[in-house]
Structure 1
Amino acid sequence: RADGGGKKEMGYDEVLLHLGEFGRYQKRIYFLLCLPTISCAFHKLAGVFLQAKVNHRCLLPYEFANATYPLPPERINMTLPWDSATKSWSSCSRLDTNFTEEYFDSGVPANRTVPCQSWVYDPTKYVSSAVTE
């Protein structure tokens, strides 16, 4: 098609006829361009699996480092404070007491809380993640 200025306007099909269709060279370039996008996708999605939020609680002073996540029901009220914001037992603080058998037998929880020094993680959903390591 010629316009008033003597220039020829070409449509998409005409350009393809002039340059050639999607051949071996274009396929190779397309493949090479796709390689970095694959690694970017893995990098972008890795955080979903590596930084998963794992249930946790404080490691109590009387427990060993390899303690299991669940606490006996009768000990939860005596060791962890209730967090009204999350409506669950706190996972970032514990009651400040000496945790003797007399304390547990009394049935009256301590008033003061202290922040956790270390944590016990629930391995039922995720065995290992960046958070637990």
Structure 2
Amino acid sequence: MPTFDEVLKEAGEFGRYQKRVFILLCLTGITFAFSFVSVVFLGQLPESYWCKTPEVERISKLCAWSPQEERNFTTPWKHVEKLDQSQSQCNMYDVKWNLSTSPLSCVDPLSSFTNQSLNQLPLKPCNDGWVYEEYSTSIISQYNLVCSDAWKLDLTQASLNLGFLMGALTLGYAADR
């Protein structure tokens, strides 16, 4: 029985033709790699975002609030651990900013709505979109794929992989025919 090296010499070495076919096949693989990996770069989750409130944006311009002050007045604090506190990114205070009975204070606007502490104010999920603190955009910030819509980014990647699978099955069979 001949060895593998003997058979390879009989069939032909790895010559110019085989190298050219190999490089052309690698080029098609590179284009697919960009499709698979692009979601890592295009779907980067912003570090800091909070609920958008159109009424608060108008008040913010009148009171000259910074974005951080606007966030502090509209977004509740959540206690993750006893030492670590962070602000909620998916909820906001359920307050009707344009229906206040007394004039709003630019220093502490929530005090005009209730005499309760901030922990007792009702919360609601974001309805009007989000404000992103970062200056770069991604498909996450462009299409608001955060909080309850975060699953849609994973769905796009799963759909791409399913499409490649179906294409490989059907086109592989068609090529063999």
- TM-score (normalizing by structure 1): 0.74
Q: Within the alignment, does 1:12 sit opposite 2:4 as a pair? A: yes
Question: Number of paired residues?
Answer: 119
Counterpart Cα distance in 2 of 1:113 and 1:92? 10
Question: Identity percentage over the alignment?
Answer: 34
Please tell me the residue identity of whatever aligns with 1:56: Y
The equivalent residue for 2:100 is none
Q: State the shift of 1:106 in Å.
A: 2.9
Counterpart of 2:104 (choices 101, 106, 114) is 101
Counterpart of 1:36 (choices 8, 28, 35) is 28
Please tell me the residue identity of whatever aligns with 1:59: K
For residues 23-69 of structure 1, the C-alpha deviation after alignment (integer angstroms, 9 at most, x for no partner) is 111011111211221012111110101111112101123216xx999
Counterpart of 1:111 (choices 121, 142, 148) is 121
Q: Tell me, which stretches of 5 or more residues in structure 1 are unaligned?
A: 1-8
SS at match of 2:14: coil
Q: Which structure would you say has the larger Rg?
A: 1
Hey, which of these two has a bigger chunk of helix by percent?
Answer: 2
Counterpart of 1:92 (choices 82, 90, 93) is 90
Further displaced range: 30-39 or 96-105? 96-105
Please tell me the residue identity of whatever aligns with 2:134: P
- TM-score (normalizing by structure 2): 0.57
Counterpart Cα distance in 1 of 2:131 and 2:66? 6
Give the conservation status (yes or no) of the 8 Å contact 1:58–1:91: yes
Counterpart Cα distance in 2 of 1:50 and 1:69? 28
